[in-house]
Amino acid sequence: MAQPQFLSVGEGARSRRIAVLTQPGKGPAVVWLGGFRSDMRATKAEALAGWAQAKGRHFIRFDYAGHGESGGDFAEWTLSDWLDDVLAVLVARVDGPAVLVGSSMGGWLALLATRRLREIAPERAPAGLVLIAPAVDFSEELMWAQMPEAIRRTILDDGVWLRPSDYSPEPTPITRALIEDGRNHLMFGQPIETGCPVHILQGMRDPDVPYGQALKLVEHLPHDPVVLTLVKDGDHRLSTPEDIGRLVAAVEGSAPAAV
């Protein structure tokens, strides 16, 4: 198993070391942005790593603070920290425009990173986005807005609620800091400008990010070329062999190899 390198991000109490795996190769860099409490060795990331190795493509993946091999306490971090992780990796490991492949929360982070780069470093703005069940504004729309009042009160009074997880035997801590920080990054309600092609892959049987969220995102991308692929029997993971084939095809279409 390939061993990661570590990148220092943040200062003072927010400093951390981010685990990064880099596969050198040709073409624009393809950068994997994983989901909420996922990691860079999950099924789809491994599949893309295999594709990149077979094709000789430049591929980068990493774990956010509190995720996977980056270590640390997951509950200490928020979307602002994870966005800083994304930007730090792009600045330190990528020359020029990359193709960002964002899964679930990674889709939201890909859009946030695109917006930030277009403002501060347009020469690094992404060449394309591939978004898998993009969970845009999830902390507000898919968490807080759906929570019963008793759970909201627990978060406000205790600072955290331990949500049972379908993907892990351990519950997921949903913190007051996560909810409040997420409100600083909400995107829906105004046009989203990426300046690049966007391909969205979305399962119609996704219990975590309903496919209506993908339709809503398309409506918020009025000026960009957008392809939306709806998988009728697809769940949130979209990790079947057929789903992986769709993902690889979308990435190849968004990141053609340099001639």
Of the residues 85, 206, 208, 243, which is catalytic? 206
Total-model pTM:
0.96
pLDDT in tens, 51-96: 999 999 999 999 999 999 998 899 999 999 999 999 999 999 999 9
Domain boundaries, the chain: 5-137+191-254
Q: What angle do CA 211, 108, 227 make, to 5 degrees?
A: 55
DSSP per position, 64-126: -TTSGGG-S-GGG--HHHHHHHHHHHHHHH--S--EEEEETHHHHHHHHHHHHHHHH-GGGS-
How distant, in Å, are the alpha carbons of 124, 127, 220, 256 from that of 180? Answer: 29, 31, 23, 39
Query: Quick check: is 104 catalytic?
Result: yes
Q: Are strands 99-103 and 128-132 parallel, antiparallel or unpaired?
A: parallel
Query: Quick check: is 15 catalytic?
Result: no
Residue 255 in this model has a pLDDT that exceeds 90? no
- Give CA–CA dist 224/235, Å, rounded: 26
Q: What pLDDT, on the 0 to 100 scale, is given for residue 257?
A: 67
What residues contact residue 46 under an 8 Å CB cut-off, 6+ apart? none
- For 5-137+191-254, which CATH superfamily applies? Alpha/Beta hydrolase fold, catalytic domain (3.40.50.1820)
Of the residues 38, 103, 104, 254, which is catalytic? 104
Q: What pLDDT, on the 0 to 100 scale, is given for residue 23?
A: 97
Query: Quick check: is 206 catalytic?
Result: yes
Q: Please report which confidence band the pLDDT of residue 259 belongs to, taking 50, 70 and 90 as the band edges.
A: very low
**Phi, psi angles (nearest 5°) of residue 220:** -90, 5
Q: Tokens 């279409």 identify what position?
A: 253
pLDDT in tens, 200-228: 999 999 999 999 999 999 999 999 999 99
pLDDT in tens, 161-188: 999 987 778 899 999 999 999 999 999 9
Query: Quick one: DSSP state of residue 144?
Result: G
Query: In angstroms, how far is the first alpha carbon of the chain from the final one?
Result: 31
Amino acid present at 90: L
Of the residues 236, 239, 243, 254, which is catalytic? 236
Mean pLDDT of the chain: 96
